[in-house]
Amino acid sequence: MPRIPSAADSFRDYVQARGAALSRTALLLSGDTHLAQDLVQQTLVGVASRWERILADGDPDAYVRRALYHQHISWWRRWRREPVPVERLPEPAGFDPHGPLETAIVVRQALRRLAPRQRAVLVLRYFEDLSEAQTAEVLGISVGTVKSQTRDALARLRVVAADLVDPQEVPR
């Protein structure tokens, strides 16, 4: 008789299948590789205890993305209030000035300069390729708010990361 997979097996399979995508989303939200790893781990720890109920609801991806977003906001609020002094500033990371790495760095830096909800909307819409309705569901906001946050975030990106904008694409 075939063995019925347990919730632990199902959770392990989910993490193996979606771990890289969750890490990418967390990196785009946090802007830091180490913070992204911690964010994914903390989110998965919280989700693991409720995994059977999450599966029963039918869409674990939406639930986990929402939990990831809320965990990020919680961290962001806490870190904003608690500056961490350091003895010495780290050396800036080197990069290839002529390759895609430069663009990736500029995008990450620009995303860090957006408000958390604006950042989340852009990450979900353009990096996770979710529809406006799916983004609204993950964030617990209306589709209209997704549209306005997207518009405002893109406008802000045009200001804070002007070097990403192709001058030929900007309307005159």
Number of domains in the chain: 2
Cα–Cα dist 99/101, whole Å = 5
Cα–Cα dist 154/165, whole Å = 11
Please tell me the pTM assigned to this model.
Answer: 0.53
Residue 83 sits in a domain of what CATH number? 1.10.1740
Cα–Cα dist 64/59, whole Å = 9
Please indicate, yes or no, whether residues 59 and 113 belong to a single structural domain of this protein.
no
Residue 136 sits in a domain of what CATH number? 1.10.10.10
Residues 36-88 pLDDT 10s: 999 999 999 999 988 888 888 888 888 999 999 988 888 766 655 555 666 77
| Phi, psi (deg, nearest 5) at residue 129 | 60, 40
Residues 92-115 pLDDT 10s: 655 445 556 677 777 888 888 888
Domain that holds residue 1: 1-89
Tell me, yes or no, whether 18 lies in a domain: yes
Given 70, 89, 108, the domain boundary residue is 89
50-66 in b/e form (b: 16+ CB < 10 A) is ebeebeeeeebbebbbb
